[in-house]
Amino acid sequence: MFRKRLLFLSVLFSSLFLSGCALKKLPAALQINSTPSANVFVDGKLLGKTPYSTDTLKAGEVMVKLIPESATEALASWENKVKLTGGVLTLIEREFAVSENNSSGNILSLEKAKDKNTALISIVTEPDGVFVQVDGEEKGSSPVTLDKISAADHEIILSKENYKEKILHVKNVLGYRLLINAKLGQNEPSLTPTPTLSGPTPKATVTPKIGGKITKNSFILIKENSLGFLRVRNAPKGSEIAQIKPIDPEQKYPLLEEKSGWYKIAYEQGKEGWVSADAIYTTKITE
């Protein structure tokens, strides 16, 4: 699975200004990553497997097709027209699933802005109406263009009910518009409703550990956020198994384990799960 920090993937995007600036027509660069690996076709020609990278393509619109390789199950392939710009890297990320509805991915590229002193980000999603957060601030719903944003590294979180959250780490460039075309995969249907948790502080049933060492009296407080809840996952960047509503600001959950960007908590008697360690959502306390 991608690190969406590029994911889940952690997406780090940067422009690639190719050599040969004196040429009138610069070649275009293309980078493709996928989970699992896939065969890469451009305009019907097999060019290799992911991860794939080249900086010698002709600028213009091309048809890109990815056929995933899986020994365990048949996964949905992906095909789309992609515009390549001379002197710029276009990045394609794809996470395959059995159906197209559950698959996810994104295409990132750059185009010159009208004002060389501005840096813009335009976000288009499938489906429309995806909630957009940039560096912890609400920016409305997609499609959206951010025209008052610094040329710097940014964290973009895309979320919508019944869809898998996508986290992108991107860098926009002064004088350019960063184009983000993202597809969110639908959550797998659940046989039982996802529990929404509130109430008294649960009791831990497992000895808390951090880095293999015993850590006593460490707890996690859940902060209020724009979604109104915090997702609990079965593993860091894993599937959602529950939701916690921050009804009581003093409500705390025993901390069992820490990994980069994630806390493992006892969220209910006898039940454990992982929540984001981002300061937007959680606070760690020691008593």
| pLDDT tens digits along 8-49 | 233 334 444 444 444 467 899 999 999 999 999 999 999 999
pLDDT for position 21: 46
Considering the chain, what is the average pLDDT of its residues? 82
**What is the rounded distance in angstroms from the CA atom of residue 4 to the CA atom of residue 170?**
11
The lowest-confidence range among 38-47, 49-58, 268-277 is 268-277
Domain residue spans of the chain: 12-183, 196-286
Q: Measured in Å, how far apart are the chain's first and last C-alpha atoms?
A: 36
Higher confidence at residue 125 or residue 204?
A: 125
- Fold classification of 196-286 is SH3 type barrels. (2.30.30)
Whose tokens are 């509805």? That residue is 101
Q: Count of residues for the chain?
A: 287
pTM for the model? 0.62
Query: Would you call 39 exposed, middle or buried from its count of C-beta atoms within 10 A (0-12, 13-18, 19+)?
Result: middle
**What is the rounded distance in angstroms from the CA atom of residue 239 to the CA atom of residue 228?**
19
pLDDT digits (tens, 9 = 90+) for 108-120: 999 888 888 899 9
**What is the rounded distance in angstroms from the CA atom of residue 27 to the CA atom of residue 135?**
33
Nearest to 193, CA basis, from 122, 154, 241:
241
pLDDT for position 215: 52
**What is the rounded distance in angstroms from the CA atom of residue 254 to the CA atom of residue 259?**
15
**What is the rounded distance in angstroms from the CA atom of residue 28 to the CA atom of residue 86?**
4
pLDDT at 206 over 90: no
Close Cβ partners of 194 (under 8 Å, ≥ 6 residues apart): 240, 241, 242, 243
pLDDT for position 180: 95
